[in-house]
Chains A and B, each alone.
Chain A
Amino acid sequence: MITRRITLSTGQGTGLIDLTSRLDEEVAAAGLRRGRLHLHSLHTTLGLILDRMEPVLLDDLIRFNGEASNGHHADGGRGRLLLRPGITALVEDGRLLLGRRQAILAVELDGPRSRELALQLEGEFSAAPTDRELELVELELRRQLLCDPDPMRLPMARLVEAGGKRLRPMVVVLASRLGPAHDPLRAAVLGAAVELIHDATMVHDDYVDEAATRRGRPAVAVAEGPARAIEVGDYYFARATRMIAELGDDEVTRTIAGALETICLSQIDEVALRGSYPGDHATYLQVVRGKTAALIAAACEAGARLGGGGIELAARVARYGELLGIAFQMVDDLLDYSDASGKPIGTDIRQRTLSLPLIYAYEDERAGPLLRRLFAGELDEEAVVRVQELVRQCGALERVAAEARSLIASALEELSGLDPDRGGAALAEIAKRAVDRVS
């Protein structure tokens, strides 16, 4: 049996959060092939249901709950009487067994809050080598953190333990497996180092973006103060580069170091571009290539190199990684318009973060002028809701989803002919799941 904790931040008052794709990711990450998923809320005013995600359900719930006009109900209201704290779902063929319209929903009765759910997975787990190797990455992460001084270790440990998709270490391990000299221990070190780089970058990003939370918990800059956040980011940036140097593979070191500089340059570009918000498609791609795709591409390339793969293999998986990274960011942009991520929706709009749906909506004949007018002033909550409506109505979300799917199709082409049993199939599955998050 595997036991985990899932954290989420909920919106104001009563609300529904679709957890299905997140739970599917947990099932896949754990390698559960057949069995049961048990999910339990650790709060009296957060329940769990198996139902269809639709606005009318939320309206009924708000009406029944007798929500106060300010959207707040100190004790969670009458809704508490109906809700159950736990839910069990069946797993078959590595996926949740749900009807076409069924979803696992968290019901918030007293938001906004930071919530924790207990997850248990039991049944037949896949014994694929990849699963064991990803466990090695987790062990390596814990091992590295164990030796560090508490003021550095504890904030980073909280971030690492909060979960995350571990996308970058996964592609490191899988790309390494494609090479003839794959060594699981060395791949785990590289995977853990890449994850630490990603986490260190996020610690600094959250200070720059004034983000309140990360992975459902307070951002390091909020919990520990900005000075500590900067120290922690620097410390683990250095630690990760040291781990990579200690692997003693010059090509791997060069690949990751090149990506680090690209990430930093794109972050500077992104801040500089805030004056011309929301930008255009070319600008978006330029920033996303650096901000998100560069490290994923480098993780793929460095993994292949570490596993002894040749230049051609490294180049192919790097192209796969770049396409995946761009598509992944597009899907993240879409999630800002949906409850599926468990994150508060509309965050990108409030923070005026570069976002492709908004770029496309600006191009729309009808929505564009209205959006320009809204963004010319202060964005209060009413304006944020109006922006979301305009973006939804003009077809921008469908356009972005189609573009993300097309990128994933190209990414999959890069994998054609690679040994499915040595990582090719799992890399393809990661790419498919990246777009599944919005389908």
Chain B
Amino acid sequence: MSVDTEVLSPDLRHLEIHWEGSLGEAYRAHRHRWPPKLALAAALVETGVGLHGLGRTVPSPVDLLLGDLCLARASRLLANEAGRVVQIAFARAIELAASAPTSGADLPMIRELLGRALEGAV
């Protein structure tokens, strides 16, 4: 993991504290199947959605900004590392997660959605 951390370090700026928690955990879950940058993009989306508390709680302003940063950074990683199909599938996953609380639907399993999106990458 330390090698990965070294590789990813610039992409963890401002998110170091979450790397010790939910971000690191999500990364490890995706990393066993996908290359580091794509696994990090998926982990960032999961963490961003989590920080925004979609369907659960209203986040603090700081958590909202950090969640925004997670989503934006994932977007930049995907722009550099993934094809159009994956970029679109990730965006759809976030649209689903954001609209689920008001649509009455169950909150989608974001990790599963992102995993399926990444399958389009290979």
* Residues on A with beta carbons closer than 8 Å to the beta carbon of B68: 204, 233, 237, 264, 267
Question: Are B58 and A227 within 8 A (Cβ)?
Answer: yes
CB < 8 Å: which of A226, A250, A254, A264 contacts B72?
A264
Would A257 and B102 be within 8 Å (CB), given that A248-B84, A271-B62 are in contact? no
Mark each residue of chain A from 215 to 254: 1 if its CB lies under 8 Å from any CB of chain B, else 0.
Answer: 0000000000011101111110111011001101010011
Question: Are A239 and B91 within 8 A (Cβ)?
Answer: yes
Would A257 and B76 be within 8 Å (CB), given that A230-B52, A231-B98, A235-B99 are in contact? yes
* A207 touches B (CB below 8 Å): yes
B75, B78, B88 interface centre (most CB from chain A within 10 Å): B75
List CB contacts (< 8 Å) of B50-104 with chain A: 52-54, 58-59, 61-62, 64-66, 68-69, 71-73, 75-76, 78-80, 84, 87-88, 91-95, 97-99, 101-103
Q: In chain B, what residue has the closest Cβ to A224? A: B102
Least CB distance, B100 to chain A, in whole angstroms = 9
* Residues on A with beta carbons closer than 8 Å to the beta carbon of B33: none
Question: Are B84 and A245 within 8 A (Cβ)?
Answer: yes
* B116 touches A (CB below 8 Å): no
Least CB distance, B70 to chain A, in whole angstroms = 9
Number of interface residues of B (CB under 8 A): 37
* Residues on A with beta carbons closer than 8 Å to the beta carbon of B98: 152, 231-232, 234-235, 238
List CB contacts (< 8 Å) of A234-290 with chain B: 234-235, 237-239, 241-242, 245-246, 248, 250, 253-254, 256-258, 260-261, 263-265, 267-268, 271
CB < 8 Å: which of B58, B69, B95 contacts A239?
B95
* A151 touches B (CB below 8 Å): yes
Q: In chain B, what residue has the closest Cβ to A252? A: B79
Question: Are A149 and B102 within 8 A (Cβ)?
Answer: yes
Least CB distance, A190 to chain B, in whole angstroms = 14
Question: Are B99 and A149 within 8 A (Cβ)?
Answer: yes
* Residues on A with beta carbons closer than 8 Å to the beta carbon of B78: 257
* Residues on A with beta carbons closer than 8 Å to the beta carbon of B87: 241-242, 245, 253
B62, B68, B94 interface centre (most CB from chain A within 10 Å): B68
* A1 touches B (CB below 8 Å): no
* A208 touches B (CB below 8 Å): yes
Question: Are B64 and A254 within 8 A (Cβ)?
Answer: no
Question: Are A235 and B84 within 8 A (Cβ)?
Answer: no
Question: Are A230 and B59 within 8 A (Cβ)?
Answer: yes
* Residues on B with beta carbons closer than 8 Å to the beta carbon of A148: 99
Question: Are B80 and A237 within 8 A (Cβ)?
Answer: no
Mark each residue of chain B from 103 to 121: 1 if its CB lies under 8 Å from any CB of chain A, else 0.
Answer: 1000000000000000000
Question: Are A230 and B95 within 8 A (Cβ)?
Answer: no
* Residues on B with beta carbons closer than 8 Å to the beta carbon of A232: 98
Question: Are A230 and B99 within 8 A (Cβ)?
Answer: no
A72 CA to B75 CA, complexed, in Å: 50
* Residues on A with beta carbons closer than 8 Å to the beta carbon of B66: 268
Question: Are A207 and B72 within 8 A (Cβ)?
Answer: no
* Residues on B with beta carbons closer than 8 Å to the beta carbon of A226: 58
* Residues on A with beta carbons closer than 8 Å to the beta carbon of B84: 245-246, 248
A271 CA to B61 CA, complexed, in Å: 9
* Residues on A with beta carbons closer than 8 Å to the beta carbon of B53: 227, 230
* Residues on B with beta carbons closer than 8 Å to the beta carbon of A267: 65, 68
Query: Which 3 residue pairs are nearest across A and B when measured between Cβ atoms?
Result: A242-B91, A238-B94, A151-B102
Residues of A in contact with B (beta carbons under 8 Å apart): 148-149, 151-152, 204, 207-208, 226-228, 230-235, 237-239, 241-242, 245-246, 248, 250, 253-254, 256-258, 260-261, 263-265, 267-268, 271
Please list 12 pairs of residues, one from A and one from B, whose beta carbons are closer than 8 Å in the complex, sorted by A's number: A148-B99, A151-B103, A226-B58, A230-B52, A231-B98, A231-B102, A234-B97, A238-B71, A239-B95, A254-B76, A264-B73, A271-B61
